[in-house]
């Protein structure tokens, strides 16, 4: 018993020393954001964030109209159901919401566990498509003069760089941003858990040619967010209220997470909303950026944004998967585009089928085909069945 007690004391002492060394290192290295990160991950029994933890952040509201648009129900809405196999697939990857819109009508929706049609969850990188939309709005309104302007025209800290707004939209800027979702010292960890987005960008430099290769990096969209702020004189939530959320008739105010109280929106992620309202964003783009008589973006911008741009992949092959902050692909011969976020957040627009699909959830398969996760095709296949379409559309 005495030996056991001594061992326990030694272990406690060792762990205490390790903890003190770790705390000291975090302070001395200036990586104090890690305290917030550890508090909301490791101390909660997980290694990463969840899709509905926006309450731990400062948020800014993206406002709605007094009388929002509500989806009309398809005549067969109450008759639709997932098959056992489809249900099992959603359960396997912990879906929280699955919504199918066809020809402007709600065909099907289902929610799991603690989630409902009023639950806000994190868009993750679907927010990139929202930021891309706001660039298009600023261009149409003349707040941005040209996509080929250097970003230094708006951001004085980049005044000596040749990187253009178009380079950012195409994910082809040559900054040495480090994209990692597991490295606690990487860009996403620093900005997701840190409290100064502008300062986080100071550590990165322009090291490669821009405008030639697709190289996906979240920090590039954050730069676009800074450009929109400077060009319009409004924070992203104010501008999204004016140019997106009110025009589409969103039902619930969205919450956009900030780096600090009164600070900057995390433009590359963290737009928290409902599945039904994400579908309204998709519906806007099904209608080419037009709501009623209001044209929010020019047709030319819409067409460029939603098809692959004329650059190369890092492999040297032609870009076949990315436009201006929208992903692009095809399913059994039908071209489509989509917003996507970490762990399988999707807003999918299938123009030929007149369908919008939203899937939100906690996890997804790790397998890719031509740069697209394999669950994407599964959700389209389910939706076409639910919508009464053949697998070929």
Query: 249 and 367: one domain?
Result: yes
Q: What is the CATH number of the domain that holds 305?
A: 3.40.710.10
Contacts of 206 by beta carbon, 8 Å cutoff, 6+ apart: 161, 163, 173, 174, 175, 176
Query: 315 and 334: one domain?
Result: yes
Q: How far apart are CA 95 and CA 292, in angstroms?
A: 33
Q: What is the pTM of this model?
A: 0.93
What's the pLDDT at 11?
44
Q: Quick check: 372 and 381 in contact, CB under 8 A?
A: no
Q: Looking at the domain assignment, is residue 39 inside a domain?
A: yes
Query: 292 and 224: one domain?
Result: yes
Q: How far apart are CA 53 and CA 57, in angstroms?
A: 8
Q: Looking at the domain assignment, is residue 392 inside a domain?
A: no
Q: Looking at the domain assignment, is residue 208 inside a domain?
A: yes
Q: Looking at the domain assignment, is residue 393 inside a domain?
A: no
The total domain count for the chain is: 2
What's the pLDDT at 255?
98
What's the pLDDT at 123?
98
Q: How far apart are CA 9 and CA 118, in angstroms?
A: 51
What's the pLDDT at 281?
98
Please report which residue ranges of 30-149 form alpha helices under DSSP H: 33-39, 84-92, 126-140
Q: How far apart are CA 290 and CA 284, in angstroms?
A: 6
Query: 233 and 330: one domain?
Result: yes
What's the pLDDT at 389?
67
Tell me the backbone φ, ψ of residue 84, rounded to 5 degrees: -60, -40
Query: 40 and 117: one domain?
Result: no
Q: Looking at the domain assignment, is residue 117 inside a domain?
A: yes
Residue 24's domain comprises: 2-44
From first to last of the 393 residues of the chain, give the pLDDT tens digit. Answer: 555 455 444 544 454 454 454 455 454 445 788 777 888 887 888 888 999 999 999 999 999 999 999 999 999 999 999 999 999 999 999 999 999 999 999 999 999 999 999 999 999 999 999 999 999 999 999 999 999 999 999 999 999 999 999 999 999 999 999 887 778 888 999 999 999 999 999 989 999 999 999 999 999 999 999 999 999 999 999 999 999 999 999 999 999 999 999 999 999 999 999 999 999 999 999 999 999 999 999 999 999 999 999 999 999 999 999 999 999 999 999 999 999 999 999 999 999 999 999 999 999 999 999 999 999 999 999 999 999 865 433
């Amino acid at each position: 018993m005495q030996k056991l007690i001594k061992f326990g004391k030694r272990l406690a002492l060792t762990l205490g020393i390790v903890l003190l060394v770790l705390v000291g290192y975090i302070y001395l290295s200036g990586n104090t954001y890690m305290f917030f990160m550890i508090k909301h991950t490791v101390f909660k029994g997980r290694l990463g964030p969840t899709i509905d933890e926006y309450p731990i952040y400062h948020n800014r509201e993206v406002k709605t109209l007094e009388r929002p648009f509500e989806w009309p129900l398809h005549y067969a809405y109450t008759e639709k159901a997932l098959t056992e196999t489809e249900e099992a697939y959603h359960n396997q990857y912990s879906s929280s919401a699955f919504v199918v819109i066809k020809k402007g009508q709600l065909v099907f929706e289902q929610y799991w566990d603690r989630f409902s049609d009023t639950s806000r969850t994190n868009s993750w990188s679907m927010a990139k498509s929202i930021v891309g939309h706001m660039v298009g709005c600023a261009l149409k309104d003349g707040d941005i003069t040209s996509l080929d302007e250097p970003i230094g025209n708006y951001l004085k800290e980049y005044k000596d760089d040749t990187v253009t707004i178009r380079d950012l939209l195409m994910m082809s800027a040559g900054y040495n941003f480090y994209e990692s979702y597991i490295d606690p010292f990487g860009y996403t960890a620093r900005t997701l858990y840190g409290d100064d987005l502008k300062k986080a960008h100071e550590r990165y430099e322009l090291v490669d040619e821009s405008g030639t290769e697709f190289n996906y990096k979240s920090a590039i969209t954050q730069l676009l967010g800074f450009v929109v702020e400077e060009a319009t004189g409004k924070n992203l939530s104010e501008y999204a209220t004016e140019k997106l959320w009110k025009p589409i008739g969103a039902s619930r105010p969205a919450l956009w997470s900030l780096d600090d109280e009164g600070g900057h929106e995390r433009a590359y992620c963290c737009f928290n909303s409902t599945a039904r309202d994400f579908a309204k964003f998709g519906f806007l783009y099904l209608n080419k950026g037009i709501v009623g008589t209001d044209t929010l973006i020019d047709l030319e911008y819409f067409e460029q944004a939603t098809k692959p741009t004329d650059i190369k992949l890092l492999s040297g092959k032609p870009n076949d998967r990315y436009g201006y902050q929208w992903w692009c692909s095809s399913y059994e011969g039908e071209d489509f585009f989509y917003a996507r976020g970490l762990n399988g957040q999707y807003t999918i627009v299938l123009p030929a089928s007149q369908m919008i699909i939203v899937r939100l959830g906690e996890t997804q398969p790790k397998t890719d085909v031509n740069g697209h996760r394999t669950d994407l095709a599964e959700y389209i296949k389910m939706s076409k069945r639910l919508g009464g379409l053949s697998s070929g559309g």
